[in-house]
Chains A and B, each alone.
Chain A
Amino acid sequence: MNVGEKTRKRWIESVSFLSILVLLALWIRTARIESEWQRGALGAFSLGFLLLLAYGTATMLRRARIPLISGYIFAGMIVGPHVAGLLTAEAVLKLRVVDDLALSFIALTAGASLHLNFLRSRAKAIALNMSFLSIFVFGLVFGFVLVGASFFQVTRLMSGAEVMTLASFLGVIAVARSPSSAIAVISESRASGVFTETVLGVTVAMDVLIIMLFTMVLALTNLMLVSGSGLHAHALGAVAGEMIVSLALGTLFGKGIAFYIKKVGHDLPLFLLLIAFGIVKGSFWLDQVMQSQFAVSLHLEPLLVCMSAGFTVRNFGPEGLRFLGSLERVSLPIFVLFFSLAGASLDLEALKMTWPIASSIAIARCAGIFLATWLAGTIMRDPPEHNRMAWMAYLTQAGVAIGLAQLAERQFQGIGTYLNTIVLAVITLNQLIGPITFKAVLELVGEAKAGKEGP
């Protein structure tokens, strides 16, 4: 069987797989739901159906060089309540219980991806890139939204504080990258070298920085929008205190995880699942208890706690690799569900309204990335052709960005929906273009090995 026939066969198999799934979903829709038990069972069906459909679609689209995450989002969007309606809005809402769990997992993985030795070896280049990316990308997107608010239908009717909040969040979320996509493209291209390692270091470390930046913006905008009290020194101190407590708590959890791995070791994925879920729910619970019992607000940031825990296990003990392996073992279903639900929640009506602003933000972000990477490369005296093309490596965006948008959506009911929709639209664009440009730049700088060697 030649390559063409093989490819065609694979496509036919994928299409058959998806067709059977859709037929089952259509069949279920004709069934009479008479009891609570059956209503509950419908939720179970939706969960399994979405997992299989999203993964099937993503693996099929991967053959067309579209990244898995884009496939999950696309699949969710198609079967969601706004397009095919195979998943009802109620089912999507129920399934979104997993969001917190998925977010904690993403944060644990992000922390665990940070390798201290590697960060030290390229510390200056990574620090420069991170600083410039944070400043230029945030600045350009923030400024663009602020200045252009009166031109877009979505933002025209918003108040000054709302526009400011939206601009802050869009700016900070635009800084986020996608380590999982970056790692996937690098391993697919079998790329290695200074350029590749710097990009990887920046991408992973950026995910950590973004959580801190986001926590800060969340607290500040909360003060502006919710309390309306403006910014005070003690409020800023409280935010900094919460971040430090979160980081310290994360370190403790990390030590606890490392101790568990060392002393017990079995059922690690299940244990991590429990820890991740516990951290998220525990943070909310602690805040509630502190508020009701002591009238003190202690808003711990679960993402920061998880990230710090992941970083501790990875870098301060011999258990890091086992920890990463266990995360990978259970993360696939969680990620598939998380991204496909994000796609299913995408309000296409709102998207229709927001596409002009979304595409403009994507361009502004791209310009910010170009400026930042060119300037950092020039200061570091990297080859000029690397500096001119480095922006192509930083477009991918997913994971944390989606999670952050959803967190903000929950926090700010009014503008949150728009924020989430705009972010998802920008991410969809970046996820479609980003991996392709990243792969291309690895080949252009000569660090991609796949394809150079024989078959």
Chain B
Amino acid sequence: MKLAFAFLLILFLAFSGYHLTFRRFRLPFLARPFYVTGSEFLFLGLLLGPLFLNVLDREAQKDLFFLHAFLLGWIGLIFGFQFEMGKLRRFPRGFVLAAITEGAVSFVLIYAAIQLTALSLPGAGHVVRVVDALVLGAVGACTAQTGVALVASEHGPKFGKLVLFLRCVSSIGPLIPLVGFGLFFSFGNVSANSWLSGIGNGLIILLASCLGVLLLIFLFLREPRQESELILLLLSTVTMGGGLSSVLGMSPLFFTFLLGILLVNMCREKERFYQILISVEKPAYVLLLVLLGANWRLISVWVPMLAVVYCVYRGMAKVGAGVVASRIAGIERERLPGLSGLGLLHQGGLSLAMVLDFQQGFPGGGAFWVVSMVLIGVLLNDVMGLFFAERLLRNALS
């Protein structure tokens, strides 16, 4: 009964919630960023979780694992659908390269900063696992599209190139961090004697399972299909793919991301698929926030402080990566290109999905620290991201 109630409640929240959020109401400055990115659902999740109302207790969450697999699969597939070659060509080639570089550089910088800090602090080297630092790096390197889209919609027409650049980075930038995340997730969970055979086994399993699901989809689409049949196909392949990858020790997010890239570039029904995917995007995101919020543990007073440090590292890495990326993109002549990284501080969306994925695949003491730090980081970055992005564009105009 409790599971049914929890399921009904979060279904209701997802359904009603997304209509009430992601809108631009006239709100105080500090409240606005939360509201437009849906971050308030993190708090709602926290309220429903074991710390307060205990509606989404550990048992209920365990029984809702299938929902996790489905959500991660759905979000991964949507992200994969952004990599349609035809649409990517609309961005200048330099921008695409710059966006990929920005993601990679931020990833490396954040990871290195966290790993070095952990090694330099006495005792911390044992507590912070390599995988924790890698996840913090990958998650930190992602830029949420919501924030950039919000700023772009307000200032877009005045700053053609700079805003296009920011949009390009927020769409394509997470590629390398997600690939990195997906690969070490697989290699960390696939049993092998050495890391090299781990990579081999992981790759074989990943490719074979992806190929299997892809073949299924293509065989299904050999006949013309109605919309209800496509819904059935998407629901079942995403759920099955998410489950399959998780059971085989891979990241469901990465698995369906790969599937999405292949589908969007090879499948003739991609437009109809995309319409179905996008129709559930916002409820899925709200559900993700609620589930993550329920997993939030305020385990130590150190967490907020570490989260601030993490945000500082992330901000510095973003600015550094922004400098490199703007040079590659060739927008040096635009005003303030070196600080373009300040427009990329928004975090959320994909990075939150990565955190949920990580929590499932690598449970343990470190996972709660990582999740808590990232969640606080996301909230801080929501405020800072909007503030810095608006200042960046205002200064560029003046």
Contact = CB atoms under 8 A, between A and B. Distances in A.
Contacts of B186: none
B80 interface: no
B239 A44 contact: yes
B49 interface: no
B11 A43 contact: no
Nearest to A280: B4
Secondary structure type dominating chain B contacts: helix
A43 B65 CA distance: 8
Nearest to B245: A41
A39 B8 CA distance: 23
A41 B240 contact: no
Nearest to A21: B216
How many residues of B sit at the interface, in one of the four size bands?
35 or more
Interface stretch (B129-137, B224-232, B346-354): B224-232
Interface stretch (B31-39, B66-74, B152-160, B382-390): B66-74
Nearest to B68: A40
Interface in A15-43: 16-17, 20-21, 23-24, 27-28, 31-33, 35-43
B232 A271 contact: no
Contacts of A33: 247
A41 B232 contact: no
A267 B15 contact: yes
A43 B66 contact: yes
B361 interface: yes
Contacts of B70: 44
Contact of B69 (A17, A44, A97, A273): A44
A351 interface: no
B78 to A, nearest CB: 17
A263 to B, nearest CB: 13
Contact of A330 (B3, B229, B231, B236): B231
Contact of B8 (A20, A31, A277): A277
A385 interface: no
Nearest to B67: A44
A422 to B, nearest CB: 29
Contact of B15 (A21, A56, A274): A274
A292 to B, nearest CB: 13
A364 B231 CA distance: 41
B209 interface: yes
B243 interface: yes
Contacts, number: 151
Contacts of B227: 329
A89 B70 CA distance: 22
Interface string A253-270: 000000000000011001
Contacts of A266: 19
Secondary structure type dominating chain A contacts: helix
Contact of A47 (B15, B66, B245): B66
A52 B242 contact: no
Contacts of A55: 229, 232, 236
B209 A24 contact: yes
Contacts of A235: none
B246 A41 contact: yes
Contacts of A21: 216
Interface string A48-80: 110110011000000000000000000000000
Nearest to B70: A44
B69 A41 contact: yes
A51 B235 contact: yes
A332 interface: yes
Interface of B: 1, 3-5, 7-8, 11-12, 15, 19, 62-63, 65-66, 68-70, 191, 209, 212-213, 215-216, 219-220, 222-223, 227-229, 231-233, 235-249, 252, 283, 360-361, 363
24 contacts: A10-B222, A16-B219, A21-B216, A35-B363, A38-B249, A40-B65, A40-B66, A41-B66, A41-B245, A41-B247, A44-B239, A44-B246, A45-B243, A47-B66, A48-B239, A48-B241, A52-B220, A52-B236, A55-B229, A266-B19, A273-B11, A281-B5, A285-B1, A332-B232
